Structure formats: structure tokens, C-alpha cells
Amino acid sequence: MGEKVVAGGFDLSDRQRYRRKHHECLEGLARLLKEKRFDRPKNLMGLEIELNLAGADGMPRMMNAQVLERIASQDFQTELGMFNLEVNIVPHRLGGRVFDQLAEELRTGLAYAHRKAGEVDAGIVMIGILPTLSRNDLVSANLSHVDRYLLLNDQMRAARGEDFTLDIEGVERLTCTSTSIAPEAACTSVQLHLQVTPGRFADVWNAAQAVAALQIAVGANSPFLFGRELWRESRPPLFQQATDTRPPELQAQGVRPRTWFGERWVESAYDLFEENLRYFPALLPICDEEDPLRALDDGGVPSLKEMVLHNGTVYRWNRPVYGVADGMPHLRVENRVLPAGPTVTDVIANAAFYYGMVRALAEDSRPVWSRLPFADAAANFDTACRHGIDAELRWPRRGRAGGLATVPAVTLVREELLPLAAAGLDAWGIEPADRDYYLGVIEERCRRRVNGASWQVDTYHRALEAGLERDVALAATTRRYAELMREGEPVHTWPAGLPTLARTTAGRG
């Protein structure tokens, strides 16, 4: 979706031509896979973080164009909402001190962006959903003025044929409608890329799907939306509903949503790209001039633009990515599970945990996906989003007895997955001191049962108990979160509550 898209209408012939081109792209992908034309493994990882803009009062600021103009760096780009930015870190080779290098680059880049945002009375906040967002903030007038976002909004609205409905029942229930996809902009995520060979793709993708629930359990950071306390990680239900092009009748028929976990383990990257074409109508049927099969016949490498563009409008939590760099095609697994924040240290710890787990599980002689039904992996993801660090998940028993057991996520992480992640990081060649430090952050979150979501909820409820009104408590929680985020200590060390309230309460005593 980073490609430039020019706004305009589409007719029936556009869609028919696009479908034909998409089929040719799939045939081209199959040939590339059969001919083993893909780049050799380079152990490359990439990192993107979506960010919020908020003022000193904790309220959103709709000014990403002004902030980006001041930042003046290609590392920072627009995102869907005017209160969003995205920072992209150039690919790094997994190994050595890469996590400390990434942390330093992120701290430097985010501090610079925050200073520049301060010139227009805004600031950078890394958080899954900004608690102070209101329904009036998430309207089409606040979509970034970028053709691809405006066109995508128009096409999704036309496909649905009626308002989008949000109905999320968690601790509290939120029900409302929207005339646009703008509520999707509330979701700010971390995206982790891993370049893989075609032969390893399925194992890595399946492993990533199996552990998505564990990522959410330890990393949840999105408990509020529109003043309501919902799921501990409310991004997935919000994203699914805000992009749902199915009217109720199609939902009742079992038509798949464009944002989904998936429905099966795969054997090849081809499986996922083929599903995209089979299940999902094109939203942006824009055809490229390239003939992918002729390019292959001529010994070239096709860009497969139609397949790539369509893939960007199917929102899998682990997405396949096809790209061409330096004339060589490559495949990546893009992990889109994690919310942004709370701190750079937390983001890097989440990344270390993910890359370690995926490496170890993908190379296991008894792969977890051969012992965990896909339906249980999907149910685990839903459970982790609802309950966060307190989730209990279904997981294969160790040993020969086999079967599944229901285990607290924190127990599963501490006793089984952290040792696996450590072994995976060793296999990547990560410096042991960095391995121990960043996995230690995950260990402490589990030991204390604290992550970004639990801290936000605890602090918010303490503010309510001290007599603050709901909106005032959410704004105060957001300001305190931003303050601690910039201090940079990982979230499990953050004191709960608001210092000013604590002092006031103590004075009254």
C-alpha cells in the first residue's frame, strides 16, 4: 500500500482486466517458486512503528502534514489518520548487537521527531490506541490527504453499501456507526518483517501464527476506545469491524472478513496469495503495464504489481510479502500483531521475543502446528486480545502423552517459550547479554503481570476512585503514559496511578 495510487473511479472492465492480470501474477509467482529464482537467505529483519500525535493535554493533534514537513526525513511517512505517523527502520541483519542498535536508532529518531512535533504544539506517543480519541476525531475529514487512503475509503464504503458498524463488548460495550474507515486509524501497530526463503516460508508463517496469541498476551497495550474500556488489546476487533466490507447478510453467509486471522496452516507462500485472489474482490483494481509472464520469458523478474497491491488490502495479522530488491525477488513474513509502545525498550523486547520464538519453533522437529489445531490457535488469539496478560491459552502438552492443556499465558511464556526464544536468538547469533536483557523484560512482565494495557487500566481506575470524571481520568492517564514513555524505563517498572492524585490523597489523610 506504499505505492502511489491515483484517485479515480473503476468500471466493470477494470475489474475484469485486473482479475486476469492477478491470475497472471499468481502464475508468475508459481514459476518463480518452481524455478527457484528467489534471493538466498540474508537473515534480514525490518521494523515499522505507527505513531500518534498528541498535545501536552493528551488530546490528539490532526497535523501530521505539518509535523512531517518539519521532520523532513524519508524514515517518517504519513499514515491513515491526520494524527498518525509511521517510522520505518532500514533492514538490519539479525545477529550480534542488532537489538541494541535498533533501540539506539529508534530513540534518536523518535526524540528528533518529538522535538519537531513540539514546534507545532504536538508530541509523539507510542500506544496501541490513544485513549483520548473521540468519535468526532475519527471521521473522513481527518483522513490524511493522500490519494490511496481517500480512494481506499471510497471503495470500501461502496463495497459495504452502508455505514460501518462497531460493536465491541469487553469490560464495557461500545456500539456506534461510522460513514468511513476512519476508525481504523485508531489502531497503531508495530510491524516486524523477516526475509525468508520459499522453502522456509511456511514453517515461519505457521510458527508466527501459533505464537500470535503469546505476543498479544505479553504485549497488549490498547484497552480503551471512545471512552470505553473494552478488550486488553482492542485493535484486532476494531480493525476487523472498521474495514469490514461485508453487510450483515454476507456476514451471515460466512463470507470472510478482509481483516482475519486465517483458517488453516499453509504449505507455501503461494497458498496465501492464492487465497487472497479466491476470497477477496479487488478494492483497487489498478493495472500495471508489465506483462509478468513475458517478463519471465525474457529472463527478467516481474514486480507482480497487481498481486502486491491486492495483498495490501487483505489485512492478515501475519501477512506474506513479495518484493524485488537489486533485481532479485524475495519473500517476507510481515508480523502485524503487536501494538505500538509503550517504550523503545518494550518494543525491542517484543521483537526479540518474536524473532527468537519463530526461529526455534520453525526448526522444531515436532512443529507446534502439527500438534495445535488451527482453530485453537485462532481461539487463543481472540482470548489473548480479550484478557491480555491474564489470558489462559490452549497449548500442546510436552512429552509423549500429547494432547492439549489450558495454561496461563504467563506460565507458558516463562516455563516454555522464553527458553525457546533464547535458543532461537542463539541460533540467530544474538549477543548473549542482549538476549538476556530483552527477554528479561518479557520475563518481568510475566512475573509482575504488568504490560501496557494493565498499567493503563490500573492507572485509569485509580483516577476514577480519586473522583476524576471518565474523560478527565483518560486524559490524565494518557499524559502520565506519555511522560513515562519518554523517560524510557520498561512498562513493568512503571508506578501505577497519577503522582498528583497520590499527593493530594496523602495530603487529605
Distances in Å between the Cα of 266 and the Cα atoms of 22, 80, 197, 201, 260 are: 21, 31, 15, 9, 15
Over the stretch 172-181, which tens digit does the pLDDT of each residue have? 999 999 999 9
Q: pLDDT above 90 covers what percent of the chain?
A: 91
pLDDT greater than 70 at residue 7: no
Least confident of 34-38, 272-276, 398-402, 496-500: 398-402
Give the Cα separation of 178 and 163 in Å (integer).
Answer: 6
User: Model confidence at 9, in pLDDT bands (50, 70, 90)?
Assistant: low
* pLDDT at site 509: 46
Task: Read off the amino acid at residue 473.
Answer: A
Q: What is the pLDDT of residues 94-128, one digit of tens each?
A: 999 999 999 999 999 999 999 999 999 999 999 99
Distance of CA 95 to the CA centre of its chain: 23
pLDDT score recorded for residue 379 = 98
What lies within 8 Å, CB to CB, of 491 at 6+ separation is 342, 343, 346, 445, 450, 451, 452, 455, 484
pLDDT of residue 11: 74
Exposure b/e, 36-75, CB count within 10 A at least 16 = b: eebbeeebbbbbbbbbbbbbeebbbbbbbebbbebbeeee
Predicted confidence band of residue 62 (pLDDT cuts 50, 70, 90): very high
Measure the CA–CA gap between 152 and 267, rounded to whole angstroms.
31
Q: How far apart are CA 355 and CA 352, in angstroms?
A: 5
Nearest to 186 by CA among 114, 237, 126, 138: 138
pLDDT tier for residue 135 given thresholds of 50, 70 and 90: very high
Q: What is the dihedral of CA 103, 46, 64, 74, to 10 degrees?
A: 100
Distance CA 222, CA 125 (A): 13
pTM of the model: 0.95
Cα-flanking dihedrals φ and ψ of residue 26, to 5°? Answer: -60, -40
Cell of 502: 497520590
In angstroms, how far apart are the furthest CA atoms of the chain?
A: 82
pLDDT band at residue 2 under the 50/70/90 scheme: very low
pLDDT of residue 5: 47
Side chain identity, residue 237: P
Tell me, what's the pLDDT at 457?
Answer: 98
Helix (H) or strand (E) holding 192: strand 190-196
Q: What is the pLDDT of residue 490?
A: 98
What is the pLDDT, as a whole number, of residue 398? 84
Give the DSSP letter of residue 60: B
pLDDT tens digits, residue range 440-482?
999 999 999 999 999 999 999 999 999 999 999 999 999 999 9
Residue 159 grid coordinates = 463495497
Q: Are 151 and 284 in contact (CB under 8 A)?
A: yes
Average pLDDT, the chain: 94
Per the CB < 8 A criterion, the answer to whether 424 and 438 are in contact is no
Confidence category of residue 311, pLDDT binned at 50, 70, 90:
very high
Confidence band for 504, pLDDT divided at 50, 70 and 90: low
Closest-CA residue to 203 (of 266, 260, 275, 263): 266
- Of 229, 168, 148, 177, residue with least CA distance to 473: 229
pLDDT at 309 over 50: yes
| pLDDT for residue 39 | 85
Measured in whole angstroms, the distance separating CA 348 from the mean position of its chain's CA atoms is 14
Q: Using 50, 70 and 90 to split pLDDT, how confident is the model at 508?
A: very low
C-beta separation of 125 from 53 below 8 A: yes
Task: For cell 481506499, name the residue.
Answer: 152
Among 41-45, 309-313, 358-362, the least confident range:
41-45
Q: Are 217 and 69 in contact (CB under 8 A)?
A: no
Instruction: Compute the distance between CA of residue 77 and CA of residue 89 in angstroms, rounded to an integer.
Output: 12
Q: What percent of the chain has pLDDT over 70?
A: 96
Using only the alpha carbons of the chain, give its radius of gyration.
Answer: 22
Q: Give the residue-averaged pLDDT of 224-249.
A: 97
pLDDT surpassing 60 at residue 1: no
Of 371, 383, 378, the closest CA to residue 261 belongs to 378
